[in-house]
Structure 1
Amino acid sequence: MFRRATYADAGDMAKIYNQAMKPGVFAISQIAPETHKERVAWLKEHRDPYPAFVYEIDRTVIGWCSLSKFSLRTEYTDVAETSRYIDENHRGRGIGKLMHEKLIETATNLGFRILVSRVGQRNAMSIKSAKKFFQQVVVLHEAVRIHDEWHNDVWLWKKLR
């Protein structure tokens, strides 16, 4: 079940986010583990029109997703970026699909025109999930540096209106 993320969720959200930087996963470019305090600061910025949601099973947070500002440039105010993170013990169960649906519905209701998703090319499961809802538009070759290695970044988009 989805609900709005609160500051009380920051620890669970950071734990799930940090799983994405494990060796061999590299789903994010951050290399230092995120702290509870950092996720609280992030949550302070994620109110409408850029909400964050947690997904719970039996009152346990097993994933989270959000809309974020795509660019600081004013001409992109109708564009939002999506993020999705699922606990490693709950991946491959359709939760990512539910998160895409939740973010698309929320973005549509908030009046966004376009959604963008950026995924590390090595994260094949996330790309496969995103392509069910988004269209791939570009691969930025060697755009992301992780542990002194360059990685490709896949950009996908969805027009809402």
Structure 2
Amino acid sequence: MNIILLGYMGCGKSSIGKELASELDMKYLDLDDYLETQEEKSIKKIFEDKGEIYFRKKESEYLKKVLNESVNTIISLGGGTPCFAGNIELIKENVHCKSIYLKTSLDELVDRLFVERHARPLIAHIDKKPDLKDFIRKHLFERSFYYNQAEYVVSTDSKTVNQIAQEIKNVLL
């Protein structure tokens, strides 16, 4: 079985995925890191050089590959991955995958992402917290349709990585 973690950027997919993989003795794969390795460029550089459409095509291509080749793996998706190119359907149709939406409130996302925005291509240009809040609110509205198609929804607000990992284990086992 593979466990797919999805949700908006900053919700904790990578941290929780690593913790969960360690606790369940599973492999861990971050789709963004995988994509960067395959493309031999950072996501930021891919966006700069080739744009978002190219990035989304490659992201979908690598998701298919990872879903077909991975066994007993926790897979953290990029925040937009489920929302493009029929990717959520690929995940839902894969009988060897359990999908989990790590749901984080707007205010918590704004607080987490404001301090690290320069490392994230989609929000690097936003310099004011109210503008970031508007940006994330719009994205959450657009993306929640896809995120909520996950088999399970786990709230991350005011919880530690370990608490969330335990909650996921309880849901799955």
Task: Specify if TM > 0.5.
Answer: no
Which protein has greater RCO, CA pairs closer than 8 Å, 6+ apart? Answer: 2
Structure 2 length as normaliser, TM-score? 0.33
Kindly indicate which of the two structures has a greater share of residues assigned to strand. 1
Scaled by the length of structure 1, what TM-score is found? 0.35
